[in-house]
Amino acid sequence: MISLLYRAADAVRRRSHGQDHGRIGEDLAHRYLRDRGCTVVARNYRTRSGSGEVDLVVWHGAVLVFVEVKTRASDAFGSPATAVDAEKRMRLQYAARDYARRANVEWEKTRFDIVSILLGRPPRIEWLRDAFR
């Protein structure tokens, strides 16, 4: 029953946000991670200064995970995960440190993951754990 509701919501979202691949990808990643035992605690977390953003913040067991979601319509230009360059990592880490400090979570209990999504029927989703090490 719940999967029927998800499919209906996906159809409506694609109609209203048809070209917003980022939004669709974040929705798919949110559901994908939740189905694999993660607890999503924040979406699109931004620092007050606006200099960094984390797409998803999730608990995976006892680890607080900062997730960057990359979505592409095709892999013609390589895997979506390759779009996370050094500058993007720096901004992610800045926002993650801000979040961890505010949530009072020790930095050693955090990690960075990338969820790479290729839109299609069905979408291909790849979860790269501990992607920054």
pLDDT digits (tens, 9 = 90+) for 84-133: 888 889 999 999 999 999 999 999 999 999 999 998 888 899 999 999 87
Distance CA 116, CA 71 (A): 6
Distance CA 78, CA 69 (A): 15
Q: Which CATH number fits domain 21-128: 3.50.50.60, 1.10.10.10, 3.40.1350.10, 3.30.379.10?
A: 3.40.1350.10
**Per-domain residue ranges for the chain?**
21-128
pLDDT of 43 = 94
pLDDT digits (tens, 9 = 90+) for 7-37: 666 655 555 445 667 788 999 999 999 999 9
The CA-atom distances, in angstroms, between 3 and each of 10, 41, 88, 102, 116 are 10, 22, 34, 35, 22
Distant-in-sequence, close-in-space partners of 26: CB < 8 Å, separation ≥ 6 = 43, 44, 55, 56, 69, 71
pLDDT digits (tens, 9 = 90+) for 38-72: 999 999 999 888 888 999 999 999 999 999 999 88
Question: What tokens does 9 get?
Answer: 């919501």
